[in-house]
Amino acid sequence: MHIDIMNVIIYNNSIKNHRKEIINMFDGEKILKWLDDHHVTQYKLARMTGLEQSTISRIVSGIVDPNGRTIVKICRVTGFTPNDLLIVPDEEPVSDCLCS
C-alpha cells in the first residue's frame, strides 16, 4: 500500500478528531534499530533533526506518534521513507479514514 505524507497528516488528524483512544502508527523500534546500527544517540538524532531529545525519546518509546513534519525531519536524517516508519492497522485502512 502506498502512503504519502498528506495521507499521514490527514489520517493523524482523523484519529485525533474522531477517537479518544491512542493508536500508535509510527514504528519507533525501527528508529531504535537505526540508532544502534549507526551508533547514534537519541540526543544526537535530536540535534540532527532539530527536534528536542525528549520528543525523540517519546516517539521511539511509543508514547506519542510524530506529526507529518516530524516524520519528514526524521526521514531526511535516517534515509527512511514515511512508508518505512508507518504502521497502518489492518482493521482500519487509510482509505476508510479519509472517506469518513
- Domain-wise residue ranges, the chain: 1-11+28-88
Give the HSE-up count for residue 62: Cα atoms under 13 Å, Cβ half-sphere. 8
Cα–Cα nearest to 38, from 87, 74, 82: 74
**What tens digit of pLDDT does each residue of 45-56 get?**
999 999 999 999
The residues, any chain, with a CB within 8 Å of residue 75's CB and separated by 6 or more, are 81, 82, 84, 85
- Asked if the model's pLDDT at residue 15 lies above 70, the reply is no
pLDDT attached to residue 95: 52
1-11+28-88, superfamily in CATH?
lambda repressor-like DNA-binding domains (1.10.260.40)
Name the residue with higher pLDDT: 93 or 83.
Answer: 83
Question: Grid coordinates representing 53?
Answer: 531529545
**What tens digit of pLDDT does each residue of 68-85 get?**
899 999 999 999 998 888
The helix/strand count (H/E) of the chain reads as: 7, 0
Whole-prediction pTM: 0.66
pLDDT attached to residue 100: 44
